[in-house]
Amino acid sequence: MRIISYNTNGIRSAINKGFIEWLKTDPADIICIQEIKAEKDNVDYKKLEELGFDTYWYSAQKKGYSGVAVFTKIKPDKVEYGTKIEQSDFEGRVIRLDFGNITLINAYFPSGTSGDERQTYKYQWLDEFYDHLNKLRKTRPRLVITGDYNIAHKEVDIHDPKGNKKSSGFLPEERAWMDKFLANGFIDTFREVNPDAKDSYSWWSQRFPTVRLQNKGWRIDYITITENLKGQLADAKIFPHIKHSDHCPIYAELTV
């Protein structure tokens, strides 16, 4: 099971920048997209189907905003849209697919960069999502959580930890949530496979065009797995050379 997680910052924009051509290179069996900013009918999804993908879309109610999708060559046994938590579902933040005894959740965590109100909501969402996962694990204990978490966990995960101490995405409360989440039986697949990796980022600010060239980035995209899948983790990578977005794809491989 080869999995990609990728915030495309608009799926239509990514397609215009060569996203479909990249998929033709067969980078993974399951492609988890965040921030699609579109509805299925606004996208030429038949090009994805021609590559062998079944496509599942969960768009935000607000047009051109948020939303998640999964394109998969492995047929799921079940697909569930949302978490039944009103605001999260209104923003199209979570989609779940079951593959045998493995449950994959693709999530677009809120950003708090636009101000205090959204930062407050981000903390609310984190708590709600944590509780949702704990409840789900009672019946579906083998989980894969892909997505843009919008949190750089450790100092090694951000190019300028001192200068960003007060920046949303690297605040102490957000990093503490990641500590709690991982201590609750989840594994950061990239760090598990690459414990000593430095300068490994998945997002670069678009406000300053040179920062990607200089690799002044943040690692805020993750594929995490429950500890009971640790023995099946075969690989985890980041693909910074793939450039359809201000994020890049990240990758994990499980033996099933």
Q: Would you name the residues annotated as active-site residues?
A: 148
Sheet holding 102-108, edge to edge: 78-81, 94-99, 102-108, 143-148, 221-226, 186-188
The answer to whether 45 and 77 have CB atoms below 8 angstroms apart is no
Sign of the Cα torsion 65, 70, 71, 77 reads negative
* Cα 107 to the center of its chain, rounded Å: 6
Give the chain's length. 256
Q: Quick check: helix, strand or coil at residue 113? A: coil
Q: What are phi and psi of 29, to 5 degrees?
A: -85, -30
**CA 83 to CA 103: how far, in whole Å?**
14
Which tokens in the block code for residue 28? 């993974």
The residue type at 79: V
The answer to whether 225 and 212 have CB atoms below 8 angstroms apart is no
**CA 248 to CA 244: how far, in whole Å?**
8
The answer to whether 143 and 193 have CB atoms below 8 angstroms apart is no
